[in-house]
Structure 1
Amino acid sequence: MTIRQFAIGTLLAGALALGACEGLPVPGGAGAALDIPEVEPGQLSEATMKDVTRILSSDAFEGRAPGTPGEEKTIALMIERFKAAGLQPGNGESWVQEVPLVEITGKDYAPLTITGKGAPLSFDFRKDWVGVTYREEAATSLSDSELVFVGYGINAPEKGWNDYAGLDVKGKTVVILVNDPDWQTQNLEGPFNGKAMTYYGRWTYKYEEAARQGAAGALIVHQTAPAAYGWNVVESSWTGPQAYAQRGENAPPLTQMNGWLTEDAARKLLKSAGQDLDALTKAAQAKGFKAVPLGMKLSTRFASDVRSFTSHNIIGILPGSEKPDEYVLHTAHWDHLGRCSPAPDGDDICNGAVDNATGTAALVALAEAHAKAGPARRSLVFLAVTAEESGLLGATYYAQNPVYPLAQTVGGVNMDAFQVAGPARDVTAVGLGKSQLDIFLETALKADGRTVTPDPKPENGYYYRSDHFAFAKLGVPMLYIDGGEDLIEGGREAGARVAADYTENRYHGPKDEFDEAWDWSGVMADLQLYYRLGRMMAMSTSWPTWNEGDEFRAIREESCKASDKGC
């Protein structure tokens, strides 16, 4: 589970005043209207939520790490419960999709050496820089790779922005700034949504774009404020075993090495090249910025241990009655961390009860409720994905190898860690303001008499850090709804205490365990919201898309043009 994000509710205030049965105005839709049917509440089972959560988070499942006996037990349980709920196997005659994974562990790192204009520089691994390869190769070596500063490393045709314009970086190493050019803006206005991070600001995008441009290496300059985390997070996350989905045929290109530089190391490098980080940053924030060759060369080498294994996504489907070849997704990750650093009492099983046994149980409870209500117009897909904790690997693999074509996938909802501290007046949501699914959400909230809390930190870009993102980046509109902060008992102060207590004492630790004393009323209210969202999408005739100017709109449009079915 990723850190929670609050939603941008101000974009949608006007929608609340409109009826759920009428066509609603669509943001970015130039006056178009969405068909949003009215749906009855679902018959949701609290007993199912409790039972499945309790079993999945028991010590017998050993923390549900991919590739362990805990995975085998999880698959068996989910197939049993999906069958009992009334679903059909979601991958032909199979309930699972094999997910080939590779684990790459870098070792024997040489220093990062810089030669050229100034005195030679040598940067130590972990202390000054970190780097990995995504290639399944035993050795990685960069020798005298020319360094080029490419600003924020963004190529966004829809925004008229290209930091690589007129530049050939084949065989070179690019130095990149983290976040978007307008991240310091105090509002949500700007070429990249002001302080609200877009996908172009995420390190994942920057490495992908560098690879598309033909770069041999990519180094992001770490700065705590725009990254939203300290160097300690980078150092711990980018060392040791790194898991990736195995690459199939016609896979996107890869650099030889991706990594990070500390701010101090970057300043030293740029100073040696006769440049200044602050001046370059200011220049890079202006449209039309031209990349700066640094006249320096980089060299390093390291070895890698490579291990391959197979995990599984679990898939069930409730076929539609009128449009069975149009699909609505419900996703949650079944995996957790397995055995981990022990608590003071010696407990070393990270049970993952909240994160994400609750979300996995929700797939079963929703499947039961939809089956009881009868087939919807469109097919409902229930997808429990693997290896979220390793970097959204199961979701990414499905999105790149979809059982059901993405152009025929209407949209979906993602569930990751339900709030078990009682009912709230509001919900938090990730990704409001991005797509026409906003109107579905506001309609469902109105039906349940609830509200949305605005996002206090849109600059952190949490939309890009959970399983829904794997589908969004390939064009499928997705929502991720989280528990509210404004608790009925105790208000926002109590909600903040609950969130802080979980983060400090249980998140990704051995004490995220099932508790019979949990208050499930808030969980069931949130689950009803998910039910309404899924049912409305499945009963609708509309194809919601991304709002005008969103970074995923063009991807969706291309996907739709290439298909003679669906959107």
Structure 2
Amino acid sequence: MKKTLYTLIALLFTQFAWAQNINKIISREYVDHLIKTLSSDEMEGRAIYTAGIDRAATFIESEFKSIGLIPLEGETGFRQTFEREGKPLFNVAGMIPGKSKTKELVVFSGHYDHLGIIKGDEQDSIANGADDDASGITAMIALAKYYKALNNNERTLIFVAFTAEESGGFGSRHFSKKLNPDDVVAMFNIEMIGKESKFGKNAAFITGFDKSDFGKILQKNLKGTEFTFHPDPYIRQNLFYRSDNATLAALGVPAHTISTDQIDIDKFYHTVKDEYSTLDTENILATIKAIAKSAISIIKGTDTPTRIPRLVEAHD
């Protein structure tokens, strides 16, 4: 009886310490700072080939540097530059080397590009992209800060802000060519977590839930919390193949997108109304913290998601 009581007390103490730690590192003020900056008018909607997206990349680089991330192997800085149609594009990527399983990679990602200046109304023409996908980039940066502070990742963690998702996923395609997909254990792609999901508070969905046991692992790690992950309810929208997880998933990686957006009724999607004022910061915070906790066994190397059947044998 005493042993059981001591075990319970130790478990409760661990959960309390975890909650205190994460609440201090991933605070509302920090999240607000990130998302307000990324979705500000100064970024001009973050369209590719513009000064606005360059400013966004510079901001993400500064956050990576402040957190203490290092560039990916083979890169001289955080920008992963490539060309399309003779013009430069760049992902922004950094990493935390693993302690014992350095060759095993876990990727956290989102896309930082958006639509730029579009036809709006008489007062506004900037598609700020607060939810799509400043919310996902905010989550990715906050997770980098948390795991760097935690300092217990046995696997190498990569954090990447993709460019040109809105133009055809060219950033994630380039990224996938720079590594061996067989080395990637899992990919947490985060897109549009700024509003409550159709499942209510403290809930998100995972695209391609049935394609690996990635979602089941995350759910297991959240047992005893208020948060739940669900299979994608929007199968007809084909979301699994519409975000930056798709390229690595096609190469066999358990690469999934986490979202809360009610895509079938979201009236702000791809409009000038996708601004910070429309977001639910508490929903963003809850989702980031849930991802942080649910990924722990994967980053520590005690859980390995099953692979997704390959759809292609080589890159484009």
Task: State if a TM-score over 0.5 links the two structures.
Answer: yes
Given residue 58 of structure 1, which amino acid in structure 2 is its aligned partner? S
1:66 aligns with 2:48: yes
How many residue pairs get aligned? The number is 291
Q: Residues of 2 paired with 1:325 and 1:361: CA distance?
A: 26
1:82 aligns with 2:64: yes
> Larger helix proportion, structure 1 or 2?
2
Alpha-carbon contact 1:330-1:534 (below 8 Å) kept: no
Q: Residues of 2 paired with 1:98 and 1:418: CA distance?
A: 27
Shift, 1:452, TM fit: 4.1
Work out which of the residue numbers 171, 181, 187 in structure 2 matches 1:412.
Answer: 187
Change in 2 beyond 3 A, CA 1:387/1:518: closer
1:511 aligns with 2:273: yes
Shift, 1:430, TM fit: 1.0
Alpha-carbon contact 1:424-1:483 (below 8 Å) kept: no
Shift, 1:439, TM fit: 2.3
Change in 2 beyond 3 A, CA 1:420/1:544: closer
Which string of whole-angstrom CA distances, capped at 9 and with x for unpartnered residues, describes residues 128-154 of structure 1? xxxxxxxxxxxxxxxxxxxxxxxxxxx
DSSP 3-state at the match of 1:390: coil
Shift, 1:555, TM fit: 5.9
Work out which of the residue numbers 47, 52, 56 in structure 1 matches 2:38.
Answer: 56
Q: Residues of 1 paired with 2:30 and 2:255: CA distance?
A: 25
How do 1:86-235 and structure 2 match up within 5 A?
A: 86-91=68-73, 92-102=75-85
Work out which of the residue numbers 343, 348, 365 in structure 1 matches 2:125.
Answer: 348
State the structure with more CA Rg: 1
Q: Residues of 2 paired with 1:409 and 1:98: CA distance?
A: 21
Find the counterpart in structure 2 of residue 523 from structure 1: 284
Find the counterpart in structure 1 of residue 260 from structure 2: 483
Given residue 63 of structure 1, which amino acid in structure 2 is its aligned partner? G
Unpaired segments ≥5 residues, structure 1: 1-38, 103-307, 485-495, 547-551, 560-567
Find the counterpart in structure 2 of residue 439 from structure 1: 216
Q: Residues of 1 paired with 2:311 and 2:232: CA distance?
A: 26
Find the counterpart in structure 1 of residue 8 from structure 2: none
Change in 2 beyond 3 A, CA 1:474/1:351: same
Q: Residues of 1 paired with 2:67 and 2:295: CA distance?
A: 16
Shift, 1:421, TM fit: 5.0
Work out which of the residue numbers 83, 87, 93 in structure 2 matches 1:315.
Answer: 93
Shift, 1:372, TM fit: 1.0
Work out which of the residue numbers 536, 543, 555 in structure 1 matches 2:297.
Answer: 536
Which string of whole-angstrom CA distances, capped at 9 and with x for unpartnered residues, describes residues 462-483 of structure 1? 2111111111011111122222
How do 1:399-478 and structure 2 match up within 5 A?
A: 399=176, 401-402=177-178, 404-421=179-196, 424-453=201-230, 455-478=232-255
CA RMSD of aligned residues (A): 2.5
Find the counterpart in structure 1 of residue 13 from structure 2: none
Alpha-carbon contact 1:96-1:312 (below 8 Å) kept: yes
Which string of whole-angstrom CA distances, capped at 9 and with x for unpartnered residues, describes residues 322-369 of structure 1? 1122110001000000110122x2411111111111111112111111
Alpha-carbon contact 1:328-1:534 (below 8 Å) kept: no
Change in 2 beyond 3 A, CA 1:543/1:425: closer
Unpaired segments ≥5 residues, structure 2: 1-16
Change in 2 beyond 3 A, CA 1:90/1:534: farther
Alpha-carbon contact 1:425-1:450 (below 8 Å) kept: yes
Q: Residues of 1 paired with 2:72 and 2:220: CA distance?
A: 29
Q: Residues of 2 paired with 1:48 and 1:428: CA distance?
A: 24
Shift, 1:542, TM fit: 4.5
Q: Residues of 1 paired with 2:152 and 2:26: CA distance?
A: 16
Q: Residues of 1 paired with 2:231 and 2:76: CA distance?
A: 44
DSSP 3-state at the match of 2:222: helix
DSSP 3-state at the match of 1:88: coil
1:388 aligns with 2:150: no
Given residue 409 of structure 1, which amino acid in structure 2 is its aligned partner? V
Alpha-carbon contact 1:413-1:479 (below 8 Å) kept: yes
Shift, 1:40, TM fit: 4.4
Change in 2 beyond 3 A, CA 1:52/1:554: closer
Identity in percent: 29
Given residue 553 of structure 1, which amino acid in structure 2 is its aligned partner? P
DSSP 3-state at the match of 2:37: helix
Find the counterpart in structure 1 of residue 9 from structure 2: none
Q: Residues of 1 paired with 2:154 and 2:28: CA distance?
A: 26
Which string of whole-angstrom CA distances, capped at 9 and with x for unpartnered residues, describes residues 446-496 of structure 1? 242333445544344221111111110111111222227xxxxxxxxxxx7
Change in 2 beyond 3 A, CA 1:542/1:420: closer
Alpha-carbon contact 2:46-2:115 (below 8 Å) kept: yes
Q: Residues of 1 paired with 2:60 and 2:184: CA distance?
A: 23
Alpha-carbon contact 1:52-1:361 (below 8 Å) kept: yes
Q: Residues of 1 paired with 2:311 and 2:279: CA distance?
A: 42
Q: Residues of 2 paired with 1:426 and 1:362: CA distance?
A: 15
Alpha-carbon contact 1:319-1:375 (below 8 Å) kept: no
1:44 aligns with 2:48: no
Alpha-carbon contact 2:105-2:186 (below 8 Å) kept: yes
Find the counterpart in structure 1 of residue 103 from structure 2: 325
> Larger strand proportion, structure 1 or 2?
1
Q: Residues of 1 paired with 2:191 and 2:280: CA distance?
A: 18
Given residue 62 of structure 1, which amino acid in structure 2 is its aligned partner? E
Alpha-carbon contact 2:196-2:260 (below 8 Å) kept: no
Find the counterpart in structure 2 of residue 363 from structure 1: 140
DSSP 3-state at the match of 1:411: strand
Shift, 1:74, TM fit: 1.1
Change in 2 beyond 3 A, CA 1:539/1:474: same
DSSP 3-state at the match of 1:335: coil
Alpha-carbon contact 1:45-1:365 (below 8 Å) kept: no
